[in-house]
Amino acid sequence: MKLTILGCYAATPRTLTNPTSQVLEIKNHLFLIDCGEGTQVQLRKQRIKFSRINHIFISHLHGDHFFGLPGLVSTCRLLGRDKELNIYGPKGIKEAITLLLKLGDSWTNYPLRFHELSSKESMLILEDEKITVETIPLDHRVYTNGFLFKEKLGERKLNVEATRHYEIDKAFFNNIKKGKDIVTEMGEIISNSELSFDPPKPKSYAFCSDTMYNPKIISLIKEVDGLYHEATFLESEAHLAKKTKHSTAKEAAHIAKEASVGKLILGHYSTRYTSIELFKKEALEVFEKVELADDGKIFEF
């Protein structure tokens, strides 16, 4: 699982910082999470092909999280896209994008499929053989979801030595990987656990932005390998965090600690601070595995 931060600053695009957008590579998918203004340019800088993105997840309809989307949708048309593009986001997102394309008389010539969200409960919104994506209801000024990306438990790994020892025909290998016991020609049962190893632990990643401190999410994100949690403010501005329904670095760290996550990645920094190192310092007082998101930075889980 590879996470590329395209933008991780709050509010407005600036000369050297970008509003929220990131790309998660998971089991051959390239998922785009949020799409602030400038996302197209950031994708190009990272040499990520637009055509590889088939699913876009939008947390909420504040501009710094989706004003790059109309342009991206239009550019995909200009690039000759023909594959379906799926957009998951709050109710209203379809009307917004549709209106902008209609005004320009430039409807896409590829299928654009909207999955509008309005539930206040966590929902499974995408599933295939290898992954699931669920919503994480957040608590912000407008209706907002985080997203939980999980690999499914893979096939068991063949114990090649054991299969040789028992002289098992290759024809049985698929069944062994699926966890089945084997019955030999002599009628002897060989337990699957002798013939295979446990598959690697599936990885998981949770994106939680924007939100105020919300302990209800802890059960949903328990033990994820990576948690991106917004930290718009430091504790010295806790009153602003409360007023604008954002979190402080310390609050993000408390969530990470209670959820026993593998790694906390902080982001969505207010542009009032001159150094983001202060966010790490504050979070480290509560939880030890803290990293700072920054535009262009890559995390691997």
140 is in an annotated binding site: yes
Which single residue is written with the structure tokens 């939880």? Answer: 287
Residue 67 C-beta: closest distance to its own copies, Å = 5
Segment near its own copies (CB under 8 A); pick from 26-34, 62-70, 165-173, 202-210: 62-70
* Tokens coding 145: 């979801």
User: Taking phi first (over 0 means left), then psi (-120 to 50 degrees means alpha), and beta for anything else, what does residue 187 get?
Assistant: left
- Tell me if 63 contacts its own copies by CB under 8 A: yes
29 is in an annotated binding site: no
3-class state of residue 279 by DSSP = helix
Segment near its own copies (CB under 8 A); pick from 71-79, 207-215, 222-230, 245-253: 71-79
Is residue 128 part of the annotated active site? The answer reads no
Pairwise CA distance, residues 181 & 162, whole Å: 13
Single residue of 124, 142, 160, 183 touching its own copies by CB under 8 A? 142
210 is in an annotated binding site: yes
Q: Indicate the DSSP class of residue 295.
A: T
Give 78 or 171: the residue with its C-beta nearer to its own copies.
78
Segment near its own copies (CB under 8 A); pick from 101-109, 171-179, 183-191, 234-242: 101-109
- Distance between alpha carbon 298 and the CA centroid of its chain, in Å? 13
- Tell me if 62 contacts its own copies by CB under 8 A: yes
* Tokens coding 245: 């329904």
Contact between 22 and 29 (Cβ < 8 Å): no
- Report the candidate in 50, 59, 54, 42 with the shortest Cα–Cα distance to residue 4: 42
- For residues 2 to 31, the per-residue mask of contacts with its own copies, x marking binding by CB under 8 A and - elsewhere, is ---------xxxxx----------------
60 is in an annotated binding site: yes
- Report the candidate in 125, 107, 13, 103 with the shortest Cα–Cα distance to residue 58: 125
Residues assigned a catalytic role:
64
Contacts with its own copies, residue ranges (CB under 8 A) = 11-15, 37-38, 40-41, 44-45, 60-64, 67-68, 70-71, 74-75, 78, 90, 92-93, 95-96, 99-100, 103-106, 141-142
